[in-house]
Amino acid sequence: MTLPDPGLGSPTEAPTTPRGDDRRQAGGDPDRWLLWTRWLGWATLVANTVLVVTGGAVRLTGSGLGCPTWPRCTEDSFTPHGAYDVHSIIEFGNRTLTFVLVAIAFATFFAALGTRRSRLIRYAVVLALGIPLQAVIGGITVLTDLNPWVVSLHLLLSLAIISLSVVFLRRIDQPDPAAARGPVAGLAWATMLSGWVVLYIGTVVTGSGPHAGDADSPRNGLDPLQVSQLHADAVFLFIGLTIGLLFAVRAVALPAESTRAVSWLLGVQVSQSGIGFVQYFTDLPVVLVGFHLLGAALIAAVLTWAVLAVYLPKAPAPAPAPAG
| Integer Cα distance of 271 and 259 in angstroms | 18
Arithmetic mean of pLDDT, 214-233: 88
For residue 310, the model assigns a pLDDT of 94
List own/partner pairs for 217-224 with CB under 8 A and 24 or more apart.
217/64, 217/65, 217/145, 217/146, 217/147, 217/148, 218/145, 218/146, 218/147, 218/148, 219/148, 220/148, 220/149
| Sign of the alpha-carbon torsion through 268, 270, 274, 276 | positive
Residue 26 has pLDDT above 90, yes or no: no
- Residue 211 is inside which H or E element, if any? none
Arithmetic mean of pLDDT, 53-60: 87
pLDDT higher at 257 or 69: 257
For residue 61, the model assigns a pLDDT of 83
For residue 272, the model assigns a pLDDT of 95
- CA distances from residue 117 to 15, 30, 35, 37, 126 in whole angstroms, order as listed: 13, 10, 14, 11, 15
User: pLDDT for 267-310, tens place per residue?
Assistant: 999 999 999 999 888 888 889 999 999 999 999 999 999 999 99
Smallest CA-to-CA distance from 147 within 214, 58, 201 is with 214
- The DSSP result for 54-71, as a single string, is HHHHHHHTT-TTSS-SSS
Q: What is the mean pLDDT of the chain?
A: 85
Arithmetic mean of pLDDT, 22-39: 71
Arithmetic mean of pLDDT, 189-202: 96
For residue 317, the model assigns a pLDDT of 55
What does the DSSP 8-state code read for residue 178? P
User: pLDDT for 252-264, tens place per residue?
Assistant: 988 899 999 999 9
Q: Judge whether 268 and 306 are in contact, CB under 8 Å.
A: no
* Identity of the residue numbered 112: A
For residue 320, the model assigns a pLDDT of 54
User: pLDDT for 166-176, tens place per residue?
Assistant: 999 999 988 87
